[in-house]
Amino acid sequence: MPSLSEAYRAHPVHVQHKHPDLNSLQELPESYTWTHHSHDDHTPAASNESVPVIDLNDPNASKLIHHACITWGAYQVVNHAIPMSLLQDIQWVGETLFSLPCHQKQKAARSPDGADGYGLARISSFFPKLMWSEGFTIVGSPLEHFRQLWPQDYHKYCDIVKRYDEAMKKLVGKLMWLMLDSLGITKEDLKWAGSKGQFKKTCAALQLNSYPTCPDPDRAMGLAAHTDSTLLTILYQNNISGLQVHRKGGGWVTVAPVPEGLVINVGDLLHILSNGLYPSVLHRVLVNRIQQRLSVAYLCGPPPNVEICPHAKLVGPNKPPLYKAVTWNEYLGTKAKHFNKALSNVRLCAPS
Ligand SMILES: C=C1C[C@]23C[C@@]1(O)CC[C@H]2[C@@]12CCC[C@@](C)(C(=O)O1)[C@H]2[C@@H]3C(=O)O
Ligand SMILES: O=C(O)CCC(=O)C(=O)O
Ligand SMILES: [Fe+2]
C-alpha cells in the first residue's frame, strides 16, 4: 500500500533547513521581511464576525456545521470529548521539542524527499521570503526521530502522540458524519468509511508548529496563506491569537482561541468530495512580539488507495462533476508541484 511519503519521493521539496535560531534575533533579517502589504489584501473584514463556535452536544450541530462549511470552510468545536489533559500533553511535547537546541533538532530534520521530521514549512519553497516558524511533522510512528531527540525517554513522548492520534481518529469519525449527513451522504454511500462508517482506515499526519516571538511582527509571516490538502484538519492552538481565515469578499478574519476549542478546517479533498459545496479554507498565521504561539494540526485524509471524486449524490444533469478523481498521494504530489493552484489543476470544467 503506498504511504504518504511516496508523494514526496516523486516530488522532493527543497527547503533551506539550516536557519538562524529565531529566538536569538533582535531584528528581523531581510530574508524574513515580507512586504508591508502582505498582511493586507485591501478588503476590510465585513464585520467582527468570525468562524462559528459549535457545541457538539447541540442537537442542531449538523445544521450549524453545514452552514459553517458553506460560509467559512471552517468552524470551532467545543464539547468534543477530547480530554483537556491530552491537549495539554501534546502541547507539552511541542513546547519541549521546539525548546531543544538547534543542533539537537537538526538530528531529526526532514529530508527533501521525506514526509516527516523537523524543518521549515514545506510550502516555504514557493516563497521568496522565509516564514517565522518551525515545524515537526509526524507520519506513522515518531519513534526513530524521537529516539534522536530524546535518547533516554523517547517512550514517554511516543505514548502521548499515540494517545492523541487515537483520540483524533475518533473525533474525525464524528465530524465527518456531521458534515456528510447534511450533504445527504449516508454510511451506505461511502464504502471506504468502513462497515460501521468509523473512518478507521484514514491516513493522517500530525504537524506541531511553533511561532516564536518576533521583533517586527508587522513585516513577518508565521505561515503563508494556504489550504490544507486534507479531508479535514483538526487544529489545537494554545491561547495565543495568530490564525486567520480568508472569507471570500470579506478579507482576513482572526480565529480567536476559545478555551478547550478545536478549529476544524475543510481541506481540498473534502472540497472535491463535496463537488465544491464545502470550499477548502484559505488560512495563514501572523506572529506577535510578546508570546510564543504553538499549534498542533491533525491533518486527515482518506486511506492511501482510495480515490476521492465528487460524490455521485452531488452530481447530476445540471451539476457536472467539477473535479477528477485523485488519491491523497496523487494530490499531495500535485500540491508539492503546484501549491495553491493544485485544486484548479485537478478541476474538470472552468468555473462559470
Ligand atoms: C500530509 C501532509 C499535509 C501537509 C503536508 C503533509 O505531508 C504534512 C504537513 C502538512 C502541511 C502543514 C502546514 C501547511 C502545509 C500546506 C504544509 O506545507 O505542510 C500542509 C500540507 C498540506 O496540507 O498540503
Ligand atoms: O498554526 C496554525 O494555527 C495553523 C497551522 C496550519 O495551518 C497547518 O499546520 O496546516
Ligand atoms: Fe493549514
| Closest ligand relative to 228 C-alpha | 1
Ligand 2 center to 242 CA (angstroms): 10
Q: Is 62 exposed, middle or buried (0-12, 13-18, 19+ CB in 10 A)?
A: middle
| Closest ligand relative to 127 C-alpha | 1
**Domain coordinates in residue numbering, the chain:** 23-346
pLDDT at residue 11, rounded to an integer: 78
Share of the chain above pLDDT 70, in %: 94
**What whole-number distance in Å separates Cα of residue 343 and Cα of residue 271?**
9
pLDDT in tens, 56-108: 999 999 999 999 999 999 999 999 999 999 999 999 999 999 999 999 999 99
Beta-strand pair 232-237/223-226: unpaired
Q: How far is CA 295 from the centre of its chain?
A: 10
- Whether 228 lines ligand 1, by a CB cut-off of 6 Å, is yes
The cell numbers describing 304, all together, are 492511501
Q: Are 132 and 224 in contact (CB under 8 A)?
A: no
Residue with grid cell 516571538, as numbered in its chain? 213
Beta-strand pair 243-247/53-55: unpaired
- Whether 246 lines ligand 2, by a CB cut-off of 6 Å, is no
pLDDT at residue 2, rounded to an integer: 55
- Whether residue 293 lies in the annotated active site: yes
- Whether 246 lines ligand 1, by a CB cut-off of 6 Å, is no
Average model confidence (pLDDT) across the chain: 93
pLDDT at residue 1, rounded to an integer: 46
Residue with grid cell 492511501, as numbered in its chain? 304
With cut-offs at 50, 70 and 90, classify the pLDDT of residue 17: low
pLDDT at residue 347, rounded to an integer: 97
- Whether 108 lines ligand 1, by a CB cut-off of 6 Å, is no
Give, in order, the Cα–Cα distances in Å from 242 to each of 194, 210, 286. Answer: 37, 11, 5
pLDDT of residue 45 exceeding 80 = no
3-state secondary structure at position 111: coil
3-state secondary structure at position 72: coil
Question: Measured in Å, how far apart are the chain's first and last C-alpha atoms?
Answer: 38
Residues in the chain: 352
Query: 23-346 maps to which CATH number?
Result: 2.60.120.330
pLDDT in tens, 262-320: 999 999 999 999 999 999 999 999 999 999 999 999 999 999 889 999 999 999 999 99
Ligand 2 center to 295 CA (angstroms): 7
Ligand 1 center to 229 CA (angstroms): 7
Cα torsion 297, 298, 301, 305: sign? positive
Neighbours of 134 (CB within 10 A): 21
pLDDT of residue 216 exceeding 60 = yes
